Structure 1
């Protein structure tokens, strides 16, 4: 069959009807049904291969068999006869690639981003695993336990549980009844479903359901030829099935979720929503309407979030799905007694949407924001390919995204009103709540929408410029002011001050007015605070630069500092500390606690977010005083990237000239961390399903240190963040199936649970070597520690082999380009290099790695790492029981679901009996309620 060029897209412009993707794509469908889409993006060196399969949890049509689409996202990394896991990972490593996959309701997408020279190799191994996936029952059972571990990990998040219950309540028949993870009873029974797993894979992993997207620095015809070479023999399937149709809704539904730990109440109001379409307007119209009515520019958002401060989170969610699904408004309420009020305010707004159309200007602004918002995200090859994959899966066509945006451009206020009247109805309403405390009894009685309807009514700063062809302009303002500058007793002041600058408006505009002004421009102005620095990041399309500066920059140079915003953001900061970090995320909590323990007695001894007592003590006058001292012209480093003109740079400098002169806050000293004496343990007692573990020790190595490249390579070998080919991951997660992942760090990685790459602008003068063991079953916690220490000690004592060294170095020489691939990362790393006083990051790392020898590496590992002197943080339910096991050196064992080699069982016995020699006085138990209190 002939390849067809999709053609160059017309340039996109705000409010116009041009295509939003400015690329020329080539498409071809093979005789077996496989679809190929090749997109040269104009970005050099990298290629991203994305393979969306039209197989998601929607396809799990047999009762008791939910979760298998997500399961195969895991299982597809188990290899084939030609490429078993270790050989497959060797190929990926040698290509310097980062890869992963995700599963949704309607698709499973596999993606790999790598240096362009390895395209044929990647296509070859990917074709092999899609056509020849091979796994035995033991491997199947091990992976099924890992899937359960992922469910357990997610179980600490109340939002995840809320959506799980909402869907279970809303649906009776359709497979959207269960989430992508599946029902827990099915996940727990999964080890018994080996035979069925083969059936599921045979049915759904077929070429006619699959698209191969190749984007980046690529020749279309050569790429298509490679796909034909390796994929054309894949056999088309014959299985036909029908996803059960959900009957029409009959009446409003309510469901409450009692939550075992402290958390602010959640209230969601959902409605039956139409399927995604590029021809029918319903989905696009409803999504646009709810975004306008409940998003950051809406009157209700302003009232509930800012004026009345009843909620601290408020958003809407209308996902595109193959079949009719749910649209949801989500609110996190500060006080249980306000839950009914918040629900009714949402319903009153919904009722009004059915009678009062939006204005032409509001709709035009929303269209503009949506289009520019998409364009600004397309700043690297992987993002372009990933965005394509999220739309291609509907009908395996490059044109789907452009068609959808053309449809959106055609929307009128009448279309939005029609969608409201069709879908925002009592029969299709599902209200769900979640809380630890009792809610008012009236919450269970849902009012009708009809009953709620209301009557219609230039600075002295140097600027680092990274000029490129990207129309999206991004700038960063890095101030030498962070939590290490927090005054004693006011911990959290640096973070709260930054929040007040970025999220509380200016003296000219209140925060809602800023939001409204930025909305049609798709502009943003955000903050990030860390120990040593606070960074403000602006992002805007070059067409809107002048208008953007007049709205965004006054927030920095002339903040509003209103009392109502101060109260709102102070509550938000405290909830981020006590709820989002401490109560709902034991993984990040453990990592943060390890940092504070090692740096006890120094300015690093509290989280960036502060302490509960410190936040309570902060006044608005404290914020104003910190702002005046910290945000000066002498304290800021400035970087800007994109299609930047000299006039833009001058305008930015002129805006910053309104900052006061001065050097800023006093320079901080290097924090003197305390080296642990033996194994020192803190056990945080918390009501949690699994046990989290982090351990480490301080290191003197930072960027610019002679041993930095060596330790960077060592941590990558041991356990690079989210990398499944790493040593600890293979020994703990892959071989034993004990948890979801095991990673190592030599630089702080905040928010690691939520992202694959570290944010730039987290430079610190004090760092840790840290190992993160993601949660394990409580009964396996002692053994997990022993295994981790055993494997780490092997590496310290024996070092890496020449082969291990060369493979890891080869990976890193290429991976540094992947790490800095986005506009934000490249600019951020450049500013970090200024702060550290080092060469540009990729050059520094490639030069350092190229000069590194195996002897240098192994010497650095022995010099800086240890298994004898470590600080450890456990988070578990039975703290006393765990302490007893640790101090008595009790033998630890593990029970596997599947068969394991005798050599592994013998090894487990030896490890399970090893002496850790932890002294009773070296173990401290801390109730979760006391953590970060002061």
Structure 2
């Protein structure tokens, strides 16, 4: 189950509609926060709407040559606002807004009506924000907009829809997250460990027991108290008129005037040494690994650009040129890929490029080692490996950590820096190939206190030096104190635990055929990696059935 709600935006609506460079503008009216908002019983004037949605609350992306309009409504209210014992409530509420229709139309009737227009809408819930996205061809904007207004101002919240939404959500936290992808599982498990005890710990979808506790009345109250005009940012892109924007603002000002009590974001815990949680499950085909360490830098800081270069050098998400990918996959054929991250990467199993709409103030540095083979599997495949106890996880983890250590100690060379920076300055422009993503990244920019993150980042990259990058890496990265989650098979859990705790040498287990074709320098490096000391202080084994409870 993905966190994109009712109706996934059609591909046709995500295609870039015009070649003309978009013009970004902002509202220029004065924001007076002390003015009393209009009551729900009286239609607010345009003046009142402009007070509620001043320059800091509206992001415009005017594209006169475009043939479509994108509307984004970002509420500063994510899963960290979930009440204790009802974790997942923000997600349920967002799903109910998009999956339960309006007072006048059922969700099925809405989908049938908008299908000929190639229109779409959905919701994405993250830790700190919830964003609703609506997309439609310009010709059908006036027909589509009453549905937008109805969903946001008069959601149906029908009992039968609530049962369906909650059932799907319960199934996700109980079964899907554990069964569908060990890679995503290890990623969510890392956040559970890294933020344990804080409001960032639980998945946005909630926990097994907490979802059970959510009622329809909880959803209605959460909508009134947390999805309000006071924590809303409006974004609009495409070919729209000033009158339409004024109408949108006038309607959204009719949302609840409650002032949400948004908590401070939970900060990552500081590990003492390398802390490992091994999640054992039946019939796992490999060991999926995610590592993480607190990193107090986000896009709001200029130093983030320097860390982006180092991160890209280690390995961008699903890119084959990085050091981790080269050493683990290309050279040793251990798995499908290995990557580095300096912020949350939303739905990484589905998307090659970063998604907007997931801005966060709590951050960490992470490594993703896609599943490597377990001991039992290697034994069955290769007679020459019949005596091994542990598969490739220990070796792969050592290799990845060693590469990070090498970067911290030795830094990037001038040549590697130049090549990586040149790549990044082109690559980040791919983040905003569509109107929807252009608008999304502009809204994220406001969250971080910036105006246009992509443009500003390009300038920061242009002015960087290799020394800036190496200094930032030394300042913010380390491998002595990290959290690690490993999802693996029952047969691998205990032997892997003992090997990690005892820093047992972990020689790479090649088949004879593969080993014969490897250069001597690779085999020599293998010997160094096999004995590379990790600062492991604690290893726990957790049964898969006991996670996310």
* Range class of TM-score, shorter chain: 0.7 to 0.9
1:671 aligned residue (266, 289, 297): 266
1:223-372 correspondence to structure 2 within 5 Å: none
SS in 2 for 1:771: strand
**Equivalent position of 2:386 in the other structure:** none
1:907 aligned residue (525, 535, 538): 525
SS in 2 for 1:606: coil
CA contact (8 A) 2:275 2:536 kept: yes
SS in 2 for 1:602: coil
CA contact (8 A) 2:186 2:290 kept: yes
State the 1:518 CA deviation.
Answer: 1.6
CA contact (8 A) 2:77 2:262 kept: no
State the 1:808 CA deviation.
Answer: 0.9
CA contact (8 A) 2:14 2:436 kept: no
Q: Which has the higher contact order (CA 8 A, sep 6+)?
A: 2
**Equivalent position of 2:539 in the other structure:** 923
CA contact (8 A) 2:91 2:204 kept: yes
Give the TM-score normalised by structure 1: 0.51
**Equivalent position of 1:26 in the other structure:** none
SS in 2 for 1:651: helix
For residues 212-258 of structure 1, the C-alpha deviation after alignment (integer angstroms, 9 at most, x for no partner) is: xxxxxxxxxxxxxxxxxxxxxxxxxxxxxxxxxxxxxxxxxxxxxxx
| Count of aligned positions | 486
**Equivalent position of 2:416 in the other structure:** 804
For 1:374 and 1:732, locate their aligned partners in 2 and report how far apart those are by CA, in whole Å: 34
SS in 2 for 1:800: coil
1:828-847 correspondence to structure 2 within 5 Å: 828-847=440-459
CA contact (8 A) 1:473 1:643 kept: yes
**Equivalent position of 1:716 in the other structure:** 312
For 1:912 and 1:481, locate their aligned partners in 2 and report how far apart those are by CA, in whole Å: 46
For 1:377 and 1:833, locate their aligned partners in 2 and report how far apart those are by CA, in whole Å: 20
2:113 aligned residue (493, 511, 517): 517
1:883 aligned residue (493, 497, 503): 497
CA contact (8 A) 2:318 2:337 kept: yes
CA contact (8 A) 2:224 2:258 kept: no
For 1:562 and 1:670, locate their aligned partners in 2 and report how far apart those are by CA, in whole Å: 32
State the 1:700 CA deviation.
Answer: 0.4
For residues 541-566 of structure 1, the C-alpha deviation after alignment (integer angstroms, 9 at most, x for no partner) is: 11111110112321111111111111
State the 1:926 CA deviation.
Answer: 0.6
For 1:377 and 1:820, locate their aligned partners in 2 and report how far apart those are by CA, in whole Å: 11
State the 1:782 CA deviation.
Answer: 0.8
State the 1:375 CA deviation.
Answer: 4.4
**Equivalent position of 1:782 in the other structure:** 394
CA contact (8 A) 1:892 1:912 kept: yes
State the 1:655 CA deviation.
Answer: 2.7
| Structure 1 position 539 matched with structure 2 position 135 | yes
**Equivalent position of 2:485 in the other structure:** 873
For residues 380-432 of structure 1, the C-alpha deviation after alignment (integer angstroms, 9 at most, x for no partner) is: 699xxxxxxxxxxxxxxxxxxxxxxxxxxxxxxxxxxxxxxxxxxxxxxxxxx
1:117-196 correspondence to structure 2 within 5 Å: none
SS in 1 for 2:349: helix
SS in 2 for 1:495: helix
In terms of Rg, which structure is larger?
1
CA RMSD in angstroms, aligned pairs only: 1.9
1:730-745 correspondence to structure 2 within 5 Å: 730-745=326-341
- In structure 2, relative to structure 1, the CA distance for the partners of 1:732 and 1:375 (3 Å cut) is closer
**Equivalent position of 2:367 in the other structure:** 771
| Structure 1 position 640 matched with structure 2 position 239 | no
CA contact (8 A) 1:491 1:610 kept: yes
**Equivalent position of 2:53 in the other structure:** 461
**Equivalent position of 2:357 in the other structure:** 761
For residues 72-113 of structure 1, the C-alpha deviation after alignment (integer angstroms, 9 at most, x for no partner) is: xxxxxxxxxxxxxxxxxxxxxxxxxxxxxxxxxxxxxxxxxx
For 2:473 and 2:297, locate their aligned partners in 1 and report how far apart those are by CA, in whole Å: 11
State the 1:512 CA deviation.
Answer: 1.4
For 1:910 and 1:740, locate their aligned partners in 2 and report how far apart those are by CA, in whole Å: 23
For 1:515 and 1:762, locate their aligned partners in 2 and report how far apart those are by CA, in whole Å: 26
**Equivalent position of 1:568 in the other structure:** 164
CA contact (8 A) 2:124 2:130 kept: yes
Can you give the 5+ residue segments of structure 2 that lack an aligned partner in the other structure? 2-6, 20-45, 375-390
SS in 1 for 2:222: helix
Can you give the 5+ residue segments of structure 1 that lack an aligned partner in the other structure? 1-156, 158-368, 383-457
CA contact (8 A) 1:491 1:614 kept: yes
CA contact (8 A) 1:732 1:784 kept: yes
- In structure 2, relative to structure 1, the CA distance for the partners of 1:381 and 1:655 (3 Å cut) is closer
- In structure 2, relative to structure 1, the CA distance for the partners of 1:380 and 1:902 (3 Å cut) is farther
State the 1:930 CA deviation.
Answer: 0.7
CA contact (8 A) 1:683 1:875 kept: yes
**Equivalent position of 1:529 in the other structure:** 125
State the 1:508 CA deviation.
Answer: 1.5
**Equivalent position of 2:510 in the other structure:** 895
**Equivalent position of 1:817 in the other structure:** 429
- In structure 2, relative to structure 1, the CA distance for the partners of 1:501 and 1:689 (3 Å cut) is same
For 1:808 and 1:652, locate their aligned partners in 2 and report how far apart those are by CA, in whole Å: 43
State the 1:816 CA deviation.
Answer: 1.7
2:298 aligned residue (677, 688, 702): 702
State the 1:378 CA deviation.
Answer: 2.9
SS in 2 for 1:507: coil
For residues 33-74 of structure 1, the C-alpha deviation after alignment (integer angstroms, 9 at most, x for no partner) is: xxxxxxxxxxxxxxxxxxxxxxxxxxxxxxxxxxxxxxxxxx
State the 1:581 CA deviation.
Answer: 1.9
State the 1:891 CA deviation.
Answer: 2.0
CA contact (8 A) 1:376 1:540 kept: yes
SS in 2 for 1:520: helix
For residues 450-484 of structure 1, the C-alpha deviation after alignment (integer angstroms, 9 at most, x for no partner) is: xxxxxxxx543243221112211111000011000
2:16 aligned residue (373, 379, 384): 379
- In structure 2, relative to structure 1, the CA distance for the partners of 1:839 and 1:465 (3 Å cut) is closer
For 2:124 and 2:332, locate their aligned partners in 1 and report how far apart those are by CA, in whole Å: 38
1:481 aligned residue (66, 74, 77): 77
State the 1:867 CA deviation.
Answer: 1.2
**Equivalent position of 2:461 in the other structure:** 849
Give the TM-score normalised by structure 2: 0.86
CA contact (8 A) 1:514 1:552 kept: no
State the 1:713 CA deviation.
Answer: 1.2
For 1:563 and 1:503, locate their aligned partners in 2 and report how far apart those are by CA, in whole Å: 12
CA contact (8 A) 1:380 1:821 kept: no
For 1:774 and 1:746, locate their aligned partners in 2 and report how far apart those are by CA, in whole Å: 17
For 1:582 and 1:677, locate their aligned partners in 2 and report how far apart those are by CA, in whole Å: 28
1:15-26 correspondence to structure 2 within 5 Å: none
For residues 836-867 of structure 1, the C-alpha deviation after alignment (integer angstroms, 9 at most, x for no partner) is: 11130122211211222211211110111111
- Deviation larger for 733-742 or 514-523: 514-523
State the 1:617 CA deviation.
Answer: 0.6
SS in 2 for 1:754: coil
